[in-house]
Amino acid sequence: KVFKQARNDFQNVLFLTFKQSNKKIAKLFNIDRRSTIVVYKNNQEISRAIGIINKDKIYSLIKAGI
């Protein structure tokens, strides 16, 4: 729900998701757990969080990359 809303609220942000079974992508981004959020800006990682579901915290991460 939160990401669906975030896509509407942050239309200038590219949101990508992938299935955990895709090990190549997981390895490329160093993601070893489900529910990992990684924010990039100018090809550099700005922030990373695992397991957060709170809308305000997620939005704060997104805003860090804008």
Secondary structure in 3-state letters for 1-66: CHHHHHHHHCCCCCCCCCCCCCHHHHHHCCCCCCCEEEEEECCEEEEEEECCCCHHHHHHHHHHCC
Over range 51-64, report the average pLDDT.
93
The model's confidence at residue 45, banded by pLDDT at 50, 70 and 90, is: very high
The model's confidence at residue 18, banded by pLDDT at 50, 70 and 90, is: confident
Predicted pLDDT of residue 3: 87
Contact predicate 13/62, CB 8 Å: yes
User: Is it the case that residue 20 has pLDDT exceeding 80?
Assistant: no
pTM, two decimal places: 0.79
Take residue 60 and report the two structure tokens written for it: 């704060």
Predicted pLDDT of residue 17: 86
* Integer Cα distance of 51 and 33 in angstroms: 9
